[in-house]
Amino acid sequence: MERADFLIIGGGVAGLSAAARLARYGRTILLEAEEALGYHSSGRSVSFSHYGIGTAPVRALTAYSRPHFAPPLGRIFPTLYFADHASLPLLDALEADMAALSAEIRTLDAAQMTALFPPLRTGPGGAVRGLLDPTGLKLDADLILQSFAREVRAAGGSVLTGRRVAAVEPGWTVRTEAGETFSAPVLVNAAGAWADRVASLAGVAPLGLQPKRRTIIVVDAPADARIDTWPFALSAARDFYVQPEAGRLLVSPVDEVPDEPGDAQPEDYDIALAADRLERYTSIKVARIAHRWAGLRTFTADRIPKAGFAEDASGFFWLAGQGGYGFQTAPAMAEIAETLITGTAWPKGLAELGVGVEQVAPGRAAIGLA
Ligand SMILES: Cc1cc2nc3c(=O)[nH]c(=O)nc-3n(C[C@H](O)[C@H](O)[C@H](O)COP(=O)(O)OP(=O)(O)OC[C@H]3O[C@@H](n4cnc5c(N)ncnc54)[C@H](O)[C@@H]3O)c2cc1C
């Protein structure tokens, strides 16, 4: 039996970021089921940080997390939200939400949008107005995961892969599928889409988490295009985005299909939808889909990620429900976990942004408050 002060289940961005903070206070052991860190959601993300997604608390958690993503973890990457006539009210709502956090948001007309993103279809039936956020951040997911893991190890903690937790005894002692045991008075459940299942192993009431599948296709860029200057372009209707990356284009139909925890795979229908929307919103023709994948985004009922001790099990800490913003909110959520587990003061900056302990408390998700 290996003993620690903090045991963490899950080697995605949530578990690793929390482990990096907790390792400063005591012996920390992180257990990841797969042979590689970030095999599930955290390795399938497009890893962007922007204010165009999520509820007000999520945007506040995003704002608080930004300073963590200095280069090389993040780099400035403009974000363009575009709207046709029908979706103009959505663009207006987005502008009001985003303007509260970024002073640099600008409205663009059709000509300004095509100057920035030439293939965008404008005019009748196409985009008529846009919103440019020049402060978007493209994050380096792998570097972020590895740097958190390095922090854990540098503080004397362990990050162990190939350790699938199969049994959990209150107190807390966990046993892996291979029969190894680990124990600690605090158990952090950062098992992503599986977090409710881990809670069930521990006899803790589930939060009612819902994993939802999202699909990405990678297509070749038009031969003559200078795509390195293109923004991350998203429809205000929230049914499409395209992002240039490494000479190709990542495209999503922004699907949210309820799914089970597991190794998510893209469905033909969503792949076709992604290609169709790229051709509908832009003049780009999809000649070949070079690559495709799907990943799970796991939501709580109120779409606010949760961090806090379970009300029904002493020492069982939830860190779950990161939805589609687990990277951009990870530094804030990890600091919240540190605060609540070690009993330090609530971060002043979070309070100033309007985030209090009650918003992220897991009890709120369990009773389905929206
Ligand atoms: C297509 C796509 C695009 C996205 N784009 C963005 C974006 O632009 N910006 C952003 O911030 N977020 C984005 N996200 C969301 C982000 O990826 C997730 O919110 C985040 O990765 C969730 O992290 P996690 O650590 O909770 O989950 P995971 O990364 O899934 O980690 C949970 C881990 O727990 C492990 N585990 C489960 N059960 C056990 C067990 N019994 N024993 C041991 N280990 C176990 C799993 O193997 C898994 O590795 C996107 C997601 C997808 C799918």
Section 239-268 average pLDDT: 97
Residue bearing the CA closest to ligand 1, atom 27: 192
pLDDT digits (tens, 9 = 90+) for 325-342: 999 999 999 999 999 999
pLDDT of 344 over the 50 cut: yes
Determine which helix (DSSP H) or strand (DSSP E) holds 159, and give its type and residue range: strand 158-160
Distance from Cα 274 to the centre of ligand 1, integer Å: 22
Distance from Cα 73 to the centre of ligand 1, integer Å: 18
C-alpha span between 140 and 327 (Å, rounded): 10
Report whether residue 33 contacts ligand 1, using a CB cutoff of 6 Å.
yes
pLDDT of 366 over the 70 cut: no
Report whether residue 359 contacts ligand 1, using a CB cutoff of 6 Å.
no
| CA atoms 237, 251, 116, 280: torsion sign | negative
> Which pLDDT score is estimated for 302?
95
Report whether residue 44 contacts ligand 1, using a CB cutoff of 6 Å.
yes
Distance from Cα 243 to the centre of ligand 1, integer Å: 20
Q: Quick one: three-class SS letters along 119-138?
A: CECECCCCECEEEEECCCEE
> Which pLDDT score is estimated for 369?
46
> Which pLDDT score is estimated for 132?
97
Q: What does DSSP assign to residue 239? A: S
Report whether residue 321 contacts ligand 1, using a CB cutoff of 6 Å.
no
Residues 6+ apart with CB under 8 A from 99: 105
pLDDT of 107 over the 60 cut: yes
Section 217-223 average pLDDT: 95
pLDDT digits (tens, 9 = 90+) for 285-302: 999 999 999 999 999 999
Distance from Cα 121 to the centre of ligand 1, integer Å: 34
pLDDT category at 364 given cuts 50, 70, 90 is low
pLDDT of 368 over the 90 cut: no
Q: Please tell me the pTM assigned to this model.
A: 0.96
> Which pLDDT score is estimated for 100?
87
> Which pLDDT score is estimated for 102?
87
Which of 41, 42, 260, 304 has most ligand 1 atoms within 8 Å of its beta carbon, as the pocket-test mutant?
Answer: 41
Residue bearing the CA closest to ligand 1, atom 14: 324
Residues 6+ apart with CB under 8 A from 336: 307, 347, 350, 357, 360
C-alpha span between 124 and 1 (Å, rounded): 68
pLDDT digits (tens, 9 = 90+) for 121-143: 998 899 999 999 999 999 999 99
Report whether residue 214 contacts ligand 1, using a CB cutoff of 6 Å.
yes
pLDDT category at 370 given cuts 50, 70, 90 is very low
pLDDT category at 312 given cuts 50, 70, 90 is confident
> Which pLDDT score is estimated for 124?
87
Q: What is the mean pLDDT of the chain?
A: 96
Q: Hey, what are 268's tokens?
A: 């033909």
Q: 8-19 burial, b for 16+ CB within 10 Å, e for fewer?
A: bbbbbbbbbbbb
> Which pLDDT score is estimated for 365?
57
